[in-house]
Amino acid sequence: MNHQPLRGCQPAPIRLQTVRLCLEPLGIEHLEAVHWLWCEAGVRRYLWDDRIIDQSQAAGPLKESERDFSDHGFGLWGLYRPASAVLVGFCGLRLADLFPEPELLFGLGEVYWGQGLATEAAQRVLCHAFEGLGHDVIGAATDAANLRSSRVMECLGMRFVQRADHDGLDTLFYRLSRTEWRMGQLMSGE
């Protein structure tokens, strides 16, 4: 029996879940909600260098996410509370020029800050990257002034690699290997 997928047929992007969140693959059909989130003052401060973007600028990363899900099994996931249609944030992986490996991204609407949701979502995405997709290393970067994101990366067990200028911004770079991630899982008892 032939178990090869039909030409032109792509597997559906994977949905992920945590104790408090449902992670749904984001695509262009989520443009309005994502644009609204990305224009919140606290979100855009570091994500868009405090620029208010228009919907066409928000559409680009969503189209890339759709392509990444199709080609690589990862992209950006929308974060939702169970039984709610309200987008509380996003988390995912992308291929970018900052790292040879996938880059972890995350962000939450301001009213959801300080609840551990970014860490929870990122842990689930890392599990998918390392255990589901077999990646050896995941990178992440944040503006040096973004202390909340730095704390999330440290809580995830990511290792600080360097502080450098990226596009005129003081940027912190982190990495996490599958081995380091597994050791962190053992230490936490998961």
- pLDDT (tens digit, 9 = 90+) per residue, 55-90? 999 999 999 999 999 999 999 999 999 989 999 999
Of residues 4 and 89, more confidence is placed in 89
pLDDT tens-digit series, residues 25-62: 999 999 999 999 999 999 999 999 999 999 999 999 99
pTM of the predicted model as reported, rounded to 2 decimal places = 0.90
Q: Which residues contact 25 (CB under 8 A, 6 or more apart)?
A: 13, 14, 15, 65, 69, 75, 76, 77, 78
Evaluate if residue 3 carries a pLDDT over 70.
Answer: no
Domains observed in the chain:
16-188 (3.40.630.30)
pLDDT range class, residue 185, cuts 50, 70, 90? confident
Give yes or no for a contact between 176 and 156, defined as CB atoms under 8 angstroms apart.
Answer: yes
Sheet containing 16-17, strands listed edge to edge, beginning at the edge strand earlier in sequence: 16-17, 22-25, 76-80, 87-94, 103-108, 137-143, 169-177, 159-166
Evaluate if residue 2 carries a pLDDT over 50.
Answer: no
Evaluate if residue 137 carries a pLDDT over 90.
Answer: yes
Smallest CA-to-CA distance from 61 within 107, 117, 116 is with: 107
Point out the least confidently predicted range of 65-69, 154-158, 181-185.
181-185
